[in-house]
Structure 1
Amino acid sequence: MTTYTDKGPKPELGKFLHFDHITFWVGNAKQAASYYRTRMGFQDLAYKGLETGSREVCCHAVRQNKIVFVFASPLLPGNEVMGRHLVTHGDGVKDVAFSVEDLDGIMKMAKQRGAKIIKDIWEEEDEGGKVRYAQVQTYGDTTHTFIERGNYSGLFLPGFKKPIAARDVILDKLPDPELQFIDHIVGNQPDLEMENVASWYEKHLMFHRFWSVDDSQIHTQYSSLRSIVMTNYEETIKMPINEPASGKRKSQIQEYVDYYGGAGVQHIALNTNNIISSIIKLKERGVEFLKVPETYYDQLRERLKNSPVKIIEDLNIIQDLKILVDFDDNGYLLQIFTKNMQDRPTVFLEVIQRHNHSGFGAGNFKALFEAIELDQSARGNL
């Protein structure tokens, strides 16, 4: 495992602030939004569709604290762009949007450095004010939209209105999992593409390497992976980039690439202040999580005996909920992974809590892989 300290030169132009929102392209946005509200605890935020004057695409935006997901679906049979994307990839993440300052500076830099511009700077406005956007291509068919909100005071973004549906009475009966913000977003690549993608973030966005592991550190009996985490200068946006490494069987990274049809977003990590409370509540809402073997906790207790770090949470509860623990001499993190959020074995979610630990669970990758391999085996894909 490598932790990098060299941020490189501070960009003279533009500033990346944080994740703004994530846009999923799905077959049925209304149902997908309902699923994430009911299961994951999101609330209706905003809507764009026929009733608001959007004739080609409908969008349902949902929010939980600082996390915003937008589910978009085509309205007309002839939407070939979205249609091809859905046939190829299934339901998945199309766009990861960043809030930025000085959009002109960021785009000037991106153009000078050769980024593929999907759509140059444009503006949209409504009664809440004006928002400026631009969009670039990243790995696979995934894009990044840069959003400069300025003094915009509207509900979400121009063109979005209050949800038209009545409030779902079921939601009032379910416990709030209190997920707070997007911690990181992981992109899976075909074998030997990770380095190219990491270099893309370095060159075009002036991100730097934050953390990495290779297949000598992360492997099971069957499969392995390599990973580089890219981040902006202020280190407020973390984008791990994974690729499979050769093993006896097909790795979960390769399974993703096969079923997604190439590179794309594999999982989204959502940060919480109290993972035990969050997971108990998410399980009450019917969310399914990967199960790690009991032996993991026997080994964890042995390893913790020699650590200066003391876990303040009850290890028996952590074991009962199948939460993973990773630690070094300074702190620890707690994490758990959902099962796939759709039929294809592609996108899933992570819930994470950090205690003075900025890593990504390298000590848990083996246990996580073994848990995923059990599900892979059941799917006939190991």
Structure 2
Amino acid sequence: MAASARRLCHIAFQVPVGQPLARNLQRLFGFQPVAAREADGWRQLALRSGDAVFLVNEGSGPKEPLYGLDPRHAVPSATNLCFDVADSGTAAQALAGRGCHIPVPPVTVRDAQGAATYAVVSSPAGNLSLTLLERADYRGPFLPGFEPVSSVPGPGWVSHVDHLTLACNPGSSSTLMRWFQDCLGFRHLPLSPGEDPELGLEVAVGPGRGGLRLTALRSCPEGVVPTLVLAESLPGATSGPDQVEQFLVRHRGPGLQHVGLYTPNIVEAAEGVAVAGGQLLTPPEAYYQQPGRDRQILAAGQEPSLLARRGILLDGDKDKFLLQIFTKSLFAEDTFFLELIQRQGATGFGQGNIRALWQSVQEQGAGGPEA
């Protein structure tokens, strides 16, 4: 293990000038701006909801955006995951010793609130880079070099990032898994009993529809890092490209497909997003008409009509349930979406829900929210 990721600091996005991501995160999902920076051709805005922080890098400049890397990617994209580490210099040196490319060597940034040192390492997951950040004594609202932004408190729909899902090329999950294990100290998290880490969890969607392979990873026990999920298509689809295949084409390669945001009250959050104008995927009508579905929803302490009205998926039994709802793409290129997730004792991702999402996306297609 070359470095140990202790906490997710933020997720960075790179968009062209005028792209409405930052505005939509505020207006549709309740994120609030906390700090901003304008320099070197970049406008960088950090937005927060609970412990979930997104950094939107807008523009393109002659220098790298602070705390990240400009990959010059063809479409708007989630481009960077920033992790807190104990010693960024030592971590970068160890990763370089493993053959990793370090496009931004360790650099220290200071302001009146303290200092932070960071380095950026290229990952094998397409255009996604990783920032290794050391900021133990920093006292500001975000990071050195950013100015605080005043804003009114948000609705509090989201408390933290639950998981990060990378769309991968076919057959690449095991290679990516080993890289995150060897370089950042992640370990395999079985999603089913006796799961082979080389095979992951295989979810067959149906005849002619192919399916999905999921491989989950978690950080060291002392870390506070979201689960990392590697997703790749299974062979066998004859009805056209699925969501993962479409992402690989539209995104021009692998990358961060979606972020799962934890909400303590998914009904309230879904209602709030919908009222604000956010576009949510709705599962097939037959999903709520399956035998025993009402009984399952009631056992989870939920109201069937409320879940059906907003398209909230539920999976699980006894006292372990998982509730999920997915947005349409936040980019016109259909390359990134959000998930709202509420866990009631469940730790997985719901195989039945995966099939329902798969079918709903295939039937409806993905579209970005209104600007």
Report TM bin, short chain: 0.7 to 0.9
Read off the aligned partner of 2:322 and give its amino acid letter: L
Is 1:149 the counterpart of 2:149 in the alignment?
no
1:327 Cα offset (Å): 1.1
Match of 1:332 in 2: 321
Deviations along 1:9-39, one digit per CA (max 9) or x if unpaired, are xx6x864222111110001267421121111
**For each residue in 1:50-75, what CA deviation from the matched residue of structure 2 results, as whole angstroms up to 9, or x when unmatched?**
xxxx2232211111121111111235
- 1:95–1:143 contact (8 Å) kept in structure 2: yes
Residue number in structure 2 paired with 1:261 = 252
Paired position in structure 2 for 1:296: 287
What is the letter of the counterpart of residue 113 of structure 1?
A: R
CA–CA distance in structure 2, aligned partners of residues 66 and 344 of structure 1: 28
1:145-294 superposed matches below 5 A: 145-163=131-149, 176=155, 178-212=157-191, 216-221=202-207, 222-234=209-221, 236-237=224-225, 238-246=227-235, 247-248=237-238, 249-294=240-285
Matched position secondary structure for 1:101: coil
The equivalent of 1:25 in structure 2 is 14
Contact 2:17 2:58 in 1 (8 A): yes
- Provide the secondary structure at the position in 2 that maps to 1:335: strand
Identity of aligned residues (%): 25
Q: Quick check: 2:326–2:339 contact (8 Å CA) kept in 1?
A: yes
Structure 1 residues 44-55: aligned runs within 5 Å? 44-49=33-38, 54-55=39-40
Aligned residue identity for 2:147? K
Corresponding residue for residue 91 of structure 1: 76
Corresponding residue of 1:126: 111
Contact 1:188 / 1:253 at 8 angstroms: preserved in 2? yes
Relative to structure 1, the CA distance from residue 161 to residue 29 in structure 2 (aligned partners, 3 Å threshold; closer, same or farther) is farther
On the 8 A contact 2:329/2:367 being kept in 1, the answer is no
CA deviation profile, 1:71-100 (whole Å, cap 9, x unmatched): 112355999x85831xx2x11101011122
Q: Residue 324 of structure 2 aligns to a residue in which SS?
A: strand
* Aligned CA distance change for structure 1 residues 205 and 33 (closer, same or farther; 3 Å): same
The SS at the match of 1:373 is helix
Aligned residues: 351
1:23 partner letter: A
TM-score by length of 2: 0.86
Report SS of the residue matched to 2:363: helix
Preserved CA contact (<8 Å) 2:300 2:319: no
SS in 2 for 1:73: strand
C-alpha spacing 1:362/1:140, structure 2 compared with 1 (3 Å): same
In the aligned structure 2, how far is the partner of 1:377 from the partner of 1:274?
25
Measured after TM superposition, the shift of residue 355 of structure 1 is 0.8
Report the CA distance shift for 1:214/1:367 in structure 2 as closer, same or farther (over 3 A). Answer: farther
The secondary structure found in structure 2 opposite 1:365 is helix
What amino acid is aligned across from residue 141 of structure 1 in structure 2? N
How far 1:205 sits from its partner (Å)? Answer: 1.4
Residue ranges of structure 1 left out of the alignment (5+ in a row)? 1-10
The answer to whether the 8 Å contact 1:114/1:204 transfers is: no
Shift of 1:105: 4.8
1:359 equivalent to 2:348? Answer yes
Q: Which residue of 2 aligns with 1:111?
A: 96
Amino acid of the structure 2 residue aligned with 1:98: F
2:283 maps to a residue whose letter is V
Give the match for residue 102 of structure 1: 87
List per-residue Cα deviations over 1:168-216 (Å, max 9, x = no partner).
xxx89xx825211111111101211222111111121121111357685
Q: Distance in 2 between matches of 1:38 and 1:123?
A: 34
Q: TM-score, normalised by structure 1?
A: 0.84
Cα 1:111/1:196, change in 2 over 3 Å: same
- Which shows bigger deviation, 312-321 or 110-119? 110-119
CA distance in 2 between counterparts of 1:74 and 1:340 reads: 21
Q: What residue identity is the alignment partner of 1:324?
A: L
Q: 1:106 to 1:279 in 2, by over 3 A?
A: same
Q: What CA RMSD, in Å, does the superposition of the two structures yield over aligned residues?
A: 2.8
Contact 2:294-2:304 at 8 Å conserved across structures: no
Partners of 2:277 and 2:90 in 1: CA distance:
45
Shift of 1:153: 0.6
1:125 and 1:300 mapped to 2: Cα distance?
60
Q: Which letter maps to 2:315?
A: D
